[in-house]
Amino acid sequence: MKKAGIFAFLMLLGLAAADVTSGKILRFVDENGVTHYTDDEAQAQGYEYDEFDDLGQPDPDNVVFRLDTETNRLYVMNKFSSMITCKVHVTNREAIDSDVLFDTPLEIPGNTEYYLGYLEVFSDEEVSITSSFDIGSLYRGDENVYYSTRDRDLIVPFVGKFRVSQGWEGGFTHKGPKSRYAIDVSMPVGTKILATKSGKVLDMRMNSDRGGPDPSFRPYANYIRIGHDDGTMSIYVHLKGNSQTVKPGDIVKQGQVIALSGNTGYTTGPHLHFAIQTNTGDGIKSVKFKLNGKEPFSKTLLSN
């Protein structure tokens, strides 16, 4: 879960920046000078696995916790237009009196201040309360099977014909739970990106024009996240800055152009990173999927 804040002695404190462990991201340049993100060719050239697994991080400043010291009532404000799931954790439970549901994922509607419960410290002992959240509502489907096998449930999320350059469980960047079943598709900057399924725009960051082959560029990856009516989410990453045609809260139709592909964030060449994800209550998890009824394994040619 994305950390939202820390209460120490019931005072809200800031968070440390996310870990950005360095490492080489995969790259393979073919004889025509086209950059690809593949497993076997890149491995043959000595590229190392990059374990970073948090593309499309929602802004933690959009989730604010507040303790009313006069009434001892704890609230959370969700400034996202979308649902989030929130957890509150406590140390030294014996030192407080509270009916807050600690360590339990709670669904908080968008643009809402939500009452979490009564909380009072009755001891001089130190008490720390931490909070965390994930974007989207809880997914109640089966995470261990293909999300969809029907041909048009999910369409290819771009205009044109391009090959999957890194598929599921790739040898370099698709190992963590958020991106285990993600795909990378090399394509020119400016390719039209489509909503793979109808839904609601949950979150986005589209103001970056920076990208490059260094971990320091990670915060600059543009992305759009769309929530679907069954609780799944599609995410589109490395988009061209300020190319979006939608905004958070918009309802989009399958096949609608939402942005243009780009080369922002930690990347060594223009490509689209795409995944279907779920909010499990214990973190975001990617799931298997088919596009136009086809499994998007590495080197699969996809077209719309």
- Residue 5 pLDDT exceeds 50: no
* Residue 154 vs residue 179, higher pLDDT: 154
What is residue 7's three-state secondary structure? strand
Instruction: Look up the pTM and report it.
Output: 0.82
Domain 2-11+59-135 identical in fold to domain 19-53+137-304: no
For residue 3, give the nearest of 95, 79, 72, 88 by alpha carbon: 88
Task: Give 165's pLDDT tier (boundaries 50, 70, 90).
Answer: confident
What is residue 116's three-state secondary structure? strand
Residues 6+ away with beta carbon under 8 Å from 110: 78, 80, 81, 82, 83, 84, 249
Fold designation for 2-11+59-135: Immunoglobulin-like (2.60.40)
What is the mean predicted confidence (pLDDT) over 99-119?
A: 95
For residue 198, give the nearest of 136, 275, 254 by alpha carbon: 254
Domain ranges of the chain: 2-11+59-135, 19-53+137-304
Residue 8 has a pLDDT of 39
CA distance 289 to 180: 12
- pLDDT tens-digit readout, 14-70: 332 233 333 333 455 555 555 555 444 444 555 444 455 567 889 999 999 998 989
Q: What is the mean pLDDT of the chain?
A: 82
Question: 19-53+137-304: which CATH number, 2.102.10.10, 1.10.3720.10, 2.70.70.10, 2.160.10.10?
Answer: 2.70.70.10
CA dihedral in degrees (257, 263, 268, 273; nearest 10)?
-30
CA distance 221 to 184: 14
282 conformational bin, left if phi > 0, alpha if psi -120 to 50, beta if neither: alpha
What sign results for the dihedral spanned by CA atoms 48, 193, 63, 97? negative
